[in-house]
Amino acid sequence: MLRYLVFITFLVASLLLLLVLPQDPSRLRIVQAADLPAPPEISGESAVVIDGENGDILYDKDSHRRVPPASLTKIATAIVGIENGDLKRRVVIDFDSYQMVLDSQSSIMGLKPGDDRSLEDMLYGLMLPSGNDAAVVIARSIAADEASFVEMMNKKISALGLADTHFSNPHGLDASDHYSSAYDMAAMSLYGLRNPVFRSLSQTTKYEIQGNRPYDLWNLNRLLYTYDGADGVKIGFTESALETIVASATRDGQKLIVAVMRSNSRYSDARALLDYFFEALHKGQVTRMKPATPIPSPTATPMAATATPVPVFTPTPGSITASPVNPANDVDVITRIFESLRDLLSFVGF
């Protein structure tokens, strides 16, 4: 009789332990697989989701397809600018950027003749309002000319092991030999986000320009204002590229980076993918794939300020930048119109 009592006691204790002790994670994944629907349908023609810490690929929709990147180009421009420039170096502007709007429908930070700006100002003007004027000034303040700077950008991309990108300008206007891919842009962003300066550029919503003509710059990335945990990175648009976005967000200590190319609704696409994979990570239901080439950490930090003479920026004829101001033109009237438009768009969050 005693044997039976011992056996029953042991059996009951074992069953209680099975109920109390944590279940095996692999079994949990199998159970939860039924709870998680298929990844969402998105309008973007190509996309990727990567782990923001180690670069693991969690989702791939034709992510190596070569497409126009539009202003996502400026992610590379910023990286090269940070790693090769002096953030405190001053540049005096000798052109009116509003002519760029008329000539090429450029987005601008609003540079005007006589503006005295630092490279740091230019980087925020590049990443927040997506200034093509800032891109050109950064290129020419670091390299001999735009072409030399673009060569530096392409060398950087090659050093990162990204095979589906080639740049022909620093701003992202459409060109036949200017292309990238969703994966390359996500990987580029992961590399950049490991640098504290780039990280600040990508997540700052408002930046105050100081100096002789102070004004505020606002980030055009709506996710920073509307998505819980959003902390980067960049948006873009051209007629050939359609809507593009690299979005990063962090929740519960987990960072995700999403890149979507040729989208008709970039914010909806990015939100859907972020929501899905944050839930998948929470439930432990993620299939990971290692990138073919590991994404390295930045090897250079921003250069310290040096007592260099103030350079004067002068546009090169034939470039997309404006010609020096011609007093015979009513540039001031055009400037006031675009300044008002810029302020209105900033106010409503565009």
Q: Tell me, yes or no, if 71 is annotated catalytic.
A: yes
Q: How many whole angstroms from its chain centre is CA 156?
A: 16
Residue with tokens 């030999």: 177
Q: Tell me, yes or no, if 130 is annotated catalytic.
A: yes
Q: How many whole angstroms from its chain centre is CA 117?
A: 23
> Which of 130, 181, 248, 263 is flagged as catalytic?
130
CA angle in degrees (0–180, nearest 5) for 251-255-261: 115
> Which of 46, 61, 63, 71 is flagged as catalytic?
71
Contacts of 336 (CB under 8 A, 6+ apart): none
Three-state secondary structure call for residue 248: strand
Separation CA 140–CA 134 (nearest Å): 10
Q: What is the DSSP string of 38-59?
A: PPPP-S-SEEEEEETTT--EEE
> Which of 61, 63, 74, 97 is flagged as catalytic?
74
Measured in degrees and rounded to the nearest 5, phi and psi for residue 299 equal -105, -10
HSE of 112 in the Cβ direction (CA atoms, 13 Å)?
Answer: 14
Q: Give, in order, the Cα–Cα distances in Å from 238 to each of 56, 152, 226, 261, 280.
A: 29, 24, 23, 11, 33
Known catalytic residues are 71, 74, 130
